[in-house]
Amino acid sequence: MPSYIPPLGPISEKLKASQLKWSDFTKSIPFAYTEIIEWKAWFFLLRTIVIWTGLMYLALGIYSISSWSWYHYLTSLVISFGVFCCYANLFTLAHDAGHFCFSKVKTANKLVGHFILSIFHIGFHNWKIAHNFHHTYSQTINRDTTWTKDKMTVQQFAESDKKKQKDYHIAYATPVGVLVGYYFACVQYFFFTRYYHFIPLEKEQRRQVRFSSFLVLVLSLCHLALFCWLGGLSFYLNYHLLPLALGAVAAVGIPLLQHSHEHAVYFDEKCWTPMRGQILGTYNFRMPYFFERVFNDINLHVVHHINPKVPWYNLRNSYNELKIKFPDYILEYDLSWAEIKKIYANPLVEWDPKLELYRSTPYR
């Protein structure tokens, strides 16, 4: 697996000189890979629910034992990790539902999305609207709804007060941002119109946001009641909140890895194009095969930004097509702590007038 990304300048200039069009990339993914296979989607959802049910049965068996030995604690941790894997699988299905590529039936996508994202205490419509906005303005400063939105330039950082500098450093230059970011995101999704005020909402979308916020509150209370009914509050903490805490790190960390690198680039609205935002600003990060399958290949992210209608089960095939046709423009790296440290070492951005984009840069 490649761990080296060529220098940005040559890639940008080569992409510009190649006279490639955005349609060249979109057409490189066969239409067959966007076709929804209903049985596969529903079977995988059902399989994951069955596995989760089995894990809950084992957890209840463990909880019925009054005196625990070391292997009971170990078994409990293994069960919690299994629940985390189920949650990771489920989130990718909700992700497809948000792009209406889980099912051919529109209502089914909505039901699946509401059901799954309620596990994560996130409203489906709220997440869907923000996520689609991310695709429209990927890597655009002050517009992208992921990590890019609040990126600071070197000058902005220098002109900020000490508190703002400290907060920014904690969020973008240390792992703390990944550890706590999910909980801030839950609040922001719930109070959507306040925190995503820059997203223009139609009347129907405002109604959807209010509905999703109310529904996720009700369903979250239902989750709490279910777990407490099964085994009490400690059961809820061990087999929902603990796996969810692991999932929270992944939910915030994965978008960071998909759009960040030592040499990551960002844009303003005037200089943004689909090819620049989706090709130059998107990365595949490679993990051991087991974890790639746990997350249903969501780490192969360039495909998704070229065509969001590709379901999870066709991501790898689509990725292989792109690698064959455009090997120089599919940017990817091996996930390692060394690569993560490089991301944290370059938390700011600086305008490059020649390339007409923002480059990642360290503190000055």
The amino acid occupying position 116 is I
Q: Report the relative pairing of strands 284-286 and 332-334 from DSSP bridges.
A: parallel
User: What pLDDT does 19 receive?
Assistant: 77
3-state secondary structure of 352: strand
Q: Give the span between the Cα atoms of 290 and 283, in whole angstroms.
A: 19
- Tell me the C-alpha to C-alpha distance, in Å, between residue 257 and each of 129, 183, 192, 266, 287: 21, 19, 24, 14, 11
User: What pLDDT does 9 receive?
Assistant: 58
Token pair, residue 291, equals 């974890």
- Tell me the C-alpha to C-alpha distance, in Å, between residue 168 and each of 18, 110, 162, 268, 339: 38, 36, 10, 20, 20
Q: Give the span between the Cα atoms of 36 and 285, in whole angstroms.
A: 25
Q: Is the pTM of this model over 0.75?
A: yes
- The C-alpha torsion from 199 through 204 and 208 to 210, rounded to 10°, is 80
User: What pLDDT does 70 receive?
Assistant: 86
User: What pLDDT does 153 receive?
Assistant: 96
Q: Give the span between the Cα atoms of 93 and 298, in whole angstroms.
A: 11
User: What pLDDT does 2 receive?
Assistant: 47
User: What pLDDT does 64 receive?
Assistant: 86
CB neighbours of residue 93 within 10 Å: 22
User: What pLDDT does 327 receive?
Assistant: 85
Q: Evaluate whether 272 touches 136 at the Cβ level (below 8 Å).
A: no
User: What pLDDT does 181 receive?
Assistant: 94
Radius of gyration (Cα) for the chain, nearest Å?
21
Q: Evaluate whether 113 touches 94 at the Cβ level (below 8 Å).
A: yes
Q: Give the span between the Cα atoms of 352 and 70, in whole angstroms.
A: 57
User: What pLDDT does 246 receive?
Assistant: 93
Per-residue pLDDT of the chain in tens (364 residues, 90 and over written 9): 444 565 555 666 667 767 788 899 999 999 999 999 999 999 999 999 999 999 999 999 998 888 888 888 999 999 999 999 999 999 999 999 999 999 999 999 999 999 999 999 999 999 999 999 999 999 999 999 999 989 999 999 999 999 999 999 999 999 999 999 999 999 999 999 999 999 999 999 999 999 999 999 999 999 999 999 999 999 999 999 999 999 999 999 999 999 998 888 999 999 898 888 898 889 999 999 999 999 999 999 999 999 999 999 999 999 999 999 988 888 889 999 999 999 999 999 999 998 889 999 999 8
Q: Give the span between the Cα atoms of 220 and 122, in whole angstroms.
A: 9
